[in-house]
Chain A
Amino acid sequence: MRANSETPEHPMEALLRMDRIPHIWCSTCGIGTAVSCFIEALKKSGIDLKKVAVVSGIGCTGRVAGYVKLDSFHTTHGRAIPFATGLALANPELKVVVFSGDGDLIAIGGNHFIHAARRNMNLTVICVNNFIYAMTGGQLAPTTPILANSSTSPYGNFDAPFNLPLLAASSGAVYVARWTVLHVRRLSKSIGEALNKRGFSFIEAICPCTTLYARRNKLGTGLDLLKFYHDNSEIRHGADPRELDIGFQKKIIVGKFIDYEKPIFFDRYNEGMRQALGDRFVEYKLDSN
């Protein structure tokens, strides 16, 4: 809520649940920046906001669905993508955005992630990667770099992390980009491109977690992390996804890596059924209920 009528309206107010502000994210957390980039992209996209649905899983980023003033669904841990699959299939007019964290989407939800990409389900997936399970207090994630410390890898992590753009690209995503939340304009532009894409689009947003990841690993403040991103990010559009591993406090390659067209699930379904069944095929319409 605005403090008083004198306070100017925030340009994103129309798309936020102001009655839920202040949010739960820590000071200098990057999730809010990722949300701002999303809202900026959504406003510019011209997409009918009534037809946008946001689905989140569990975790810090899982709370995004609770703050955006859109049809928004805060689901179970790891299941945002299959929930979104049901929404997107049952109402093909919806633009369904999955907004969740690395642990939610890639660990417990990893199977759903690869299968939705394989099917080229019409979803935009924004994955905020802070390298750690933040909501539960800083445990090891499937993205935690080797040697990084977490509350369940107190001697350092020796477990190989996923390279998320490679996972998305090799599973069939038609759009794959990675930015840090320092790259606000580029991140927002990529989200805009992804929103206008038909099929499974994936954006990884590297994000500081000051409270847990940075503190445990003695990386300084949120500002220090942004400075690190500034000094150590290299924009390399079209880079081979196999070269996008992220080492502990090593260079982060960002950019747009994959962008091409192929039929989405519904295209194949409708075309295939029409060929197989001819006039007997009845195309799905929500109204037929």
Chain B
Amino acid sequence: MKADPINVLTGVHFLDGDTACAEGALAAGCRFFAGYPITPSTEAAERISERFPLVGGIFIQMEDELASMAAIIGASWAGAKSMSVTSGPGFSLMMENLGLAVMMETPCIVVNVQRGGPSTGLPTMVGQADVMQARWGSHGDYEIIALSPNSPQETFDFTIKAFNLAERYRVPVLVLMDECVGHMTERVVIPPAEEIELEPRRFTKLPPEKYLPYHPNADLVPEMIKAGDGYKIHTTGLTHDERGYPVMSAEAQHKLVKRLVEKIRLNAAAIYDITEVNVDGAEVIVVAYGITSRVAQPAIEMANQKGTKTGFIKLNTVWPFPTERFRKIAQNVKAFVVPEINMGQIALEVERAAAGQAITIPIPHAGGSVHKPEDIYKVIVEVVQ
């Protein structure tokens, strides 16, 4: 289906990333926003509070992020596309109900505009240290989808994509921005509504007496209903069977958790999205995401100019991680260099995927600013020497 023109601010704009994120949500048909103000994400909430009354959406400022996350799950079950926007400390509070959204298989979007941590950390300054939290932050075993834009334009585009993936796989999808991307202001082109493709909710066509809320299709994703349609379904955060009824057994746990994990793992090739530049024939490949993928560009150019064949992989999705692709690339490359604004998180994934075929060199940065391109350049050059 196509986007509704009422939601789409078609034209060329000069927007910060947070605002572009809000516009992306609108274009995707988001109709419910629950959130709690937190720097550096507040501009997104402010924009939505201004725009929603003009397009028939509901904005509510909740008492905290626990409530915000719970409310967007409830709203999704009522049939609305829903979203919340936060940063580190709020993201931590959302972990509880993020797990509930995974367990109930509820499409919804959480945007984390990352700042420096741990704890209150650097509220106004950049970080990328929530990447592993995004993957593992809620208790129990699950798989998640997370996208990482590096510009206001990508933030607009990826937010729409996040909504589509959430509907397609019935999962909460995370948009991992960072403070730099959230606060930088750039040209954003918003296309006409008819050029924006949206994934409809996978509502069942079965009558209530034949419908099982957690009976999966061949792609392991079950069809959904919305409250009030007469299906009288039950859903729970407890381990459950295909009826949605709690079942306390190792067998039920195995069946459910395996499916929740596999609906992402087995579809990973269709979900993950990376941009490869000069990967063939490269000696060294720089792997980066978010703002760091831009900071790395001068370093890569300089290295290539000075004769080090340097490729580049940008992770548009950080989760699921494209393990297979990296394992293949690792066969023909000497090293992966991984600058990120944390003490080495995605570097661990790259190292795992490389499986000893290529070395992985993290370039850690504790946050508060971006890397200096020359620091990345130095590492690239040292690797080949």
Q: Which residues of A line the B interface, CB within 8 A?
A: 17, 19-20, 49-51, 53, 55, 65-66, 69-76, 78-79, 81-91, 93-94, 111-112, 115, 265, 269, 273, 276-277, 280-286, 288-289
Contacts and interface: CB of A to CB of B under 8 A. Distances in A.
Interface string B31-75: 110100000000000000000011111101011101110111111
Given A66-B246, A90-B31, A282-B53, A50 B230 contact: yes
12 contacts: A17-B234, A74-B234, A76-B70, A79-B66, A79-B100, A82-B62, A86-B70, A88-B78, A90-B82, A91-B226, A111-B64, A115-B67
Contacts of B57: 284
B80 interface: yes
B289 interface: no
B76 interface: yes
A83 B79 contact: no
Most central of A70, A112, A289 by chain B CB within 10 Å? A289
Interface residues of B, number: 53
B75 A89 contact: yes
B96 interface: yes
Contacts of B64: 111
B79 A90 contact: yes
Contact of B227 (A17, A20, A79, A87): A87
A280 B75 CA distance: 24
A73 B31 contact: no
Contacts of B70: 75-76, 79, 82-83, 85-86, 112
B79 A289 contact: yes
Contact of B67 (A49, A71, A79, A269): A79
B248 to A, nearest CB: 10
Contacts of B99: 76
Given A17-B234, A69-B232, A71-B232, A86 B71 contact: yes
A94 B74 contact: no
Contact of B74 (A85, A93, A269): A85
Given A76-B97, A85-B71, A89-B58, A273 B228 contact: no
A265 B58 CA distance: 11
B166 to A, nearest CB: 14
Nearest to A269: B58
B277 interface: no
B72 A86 contact: yes
Among B55, B67, B76: residue with most chain A CB under 10 A = B67
Given A83-B74, A94-B227, A75 B234 contact: no
B51 to A, nearest CB: 11
Most buried by A among B82, B233, B237: B237
B323 interface: no
A280 B50 CA distance: 12
Given A69-B232, A79-B67, A284-B56, A86 B237 contact: no
Given A86-B75, A288-B31, A75 B237 contact: yes
A282 B228 contact: no
Given A112-B67, A289-B81, A71 B56 contact: no
Majority SS at the chain B contact face:
mixed
A264 B380 CA distance: 61
Contact of A87 (B55, B77, B232): B77
A72 B246 CA distance: 13
B235 interface: yes
B142 interface: no
Given A75-B97, A115-B62, A284-B31, 8 more contacts: A79-B96, A82-B62, A86-B34, A86-B71, A90-B78, A277-B53, A280-B54, A282-B6
A94 B6 CA distance: 26
Contacts of B97: 75-76, 79
A53 B230 CA distance: 10
Contacts of A285: 56
Contacts of B76: 86, 90
Interface in B1-37: 4, 6, 29, 31-32, 34
Contacts of A284: 31, 56-58
B236 interface: yes
Given A75-B100, A76-B97, A111-B63, A50 B229 contact: yes
B238 interface: yes
A66 B234 CA distance: 6
B326 interface: no
B79 A86 contact: no
B211 interface: no
A224 B253 CA distance: 41
B66 A87 contact: no
B73 A83 contact: yes
Nearest to B57: A284
B73 A71 contact: no
Nearest to A85: B71
Give the 4 A-B residue pairs with the shortest CB-CB distance, closest first. A86-B74, A90-B78, A74-B236, A86-B71
Given A76-B97, A112-B67, A286-B80, A71 B75 contact: no
Contacts of B82: 86, 90
A211 B5 CA distance: 60
Contacts of A283: 56
A76 B96 contact: yes
Given A74-B235, A277-B53, A286 B78 contact: yes
B74 A82 contact: yes
Contact of B237 (A72, A74, A115): A74
Contacts of B4: 288
Interface string B75-91: 11111111000000000
B234 A289 contact: no
Nearest to A49: B232
A233 B80 CA distance: 45
Nearest to B60: A89
